Amino acid sequence: MRTAISKNESIKGAVRGEMNAAHGLRDLFEVGLKDIYWAEKVLTKTLPRMMKNASSPELVNSLKNQLNETQEHVSRLEKIFEVTGVEATAKKCEAMGGILKETNSLIKQTDLGVVRDAGIIAADQKVKHYEIATYGTLHAYAKTLGENKAANLLAMSLDEEKKTDAALTGIAMSHINNQAHKADAITNT
């Protein structure tokens, strides 16, 4: 069974890697760290805007807590860079950039109130799901690479992201989605 392709071989339809392409799991790990580092740093600037545009005190409080948690994630990532010997640089995360662009658009396309709150929660959960996927993958990479300190730190961020996602679902389902649905009835009468 053939599992690897030499650098000189090519497969019909396959994209040739760039000059600085990742060659191993360590490279993927480093790229992922720099990617989520950029994402977390940008979130520290985006969350205050989301707070200003939310009307539910419960949602505003959740976003404030997320800002503190995100600042902790940035510090934790800096510690991970330190313990792994990876240079602490941020690389623009195209996925998070797209999610945040969509978030800004959603805010502009909704009136202040419960409908916007429902949209902010949805957008924030997209952010959380991306972070959960990224931290989960980086945790698995770190364990495989024997980077146990990094794996432990990544597991902490992963757990926090999962808890925040569940809390957002709770806020949405406790009242915001129902109130936004009632707005539909008022609009359609």
- 86-122 confidence digits (pLDDT tens): 999 999 999 999 999 999 999 999 999 999 999 999 9
What percentage of the chain reaches a pLDDT higher than 70? 86
Which residue range forms the structural domain that includes residue 101? 25-174
What domain count does the chain have? 1
Contact of 69 with 44, CB cutoff 8 Å: no
Asked if residue 148 belongs to a domain, the reply is yes
Closest-CA residue to 112 (of 67, 52, 184): 52
Q: Is residue 113 part of a domain?
A: yes
- Domain-embedded: residue 131: yes
Q: What is the torsional sign of CA 64, 65, 70, 71?
A: positive
CATH number at residue 141: 1.20.1260.10
pTM (2 decimals)?
0.88
125 within a domain of the structure (yes/no):
yes
The string of pLDDT tens digits covering residues 125-150 is: 999 999 999 999 999 999 999 999 99
Q: Is residue 16 part of a domain?
A: no
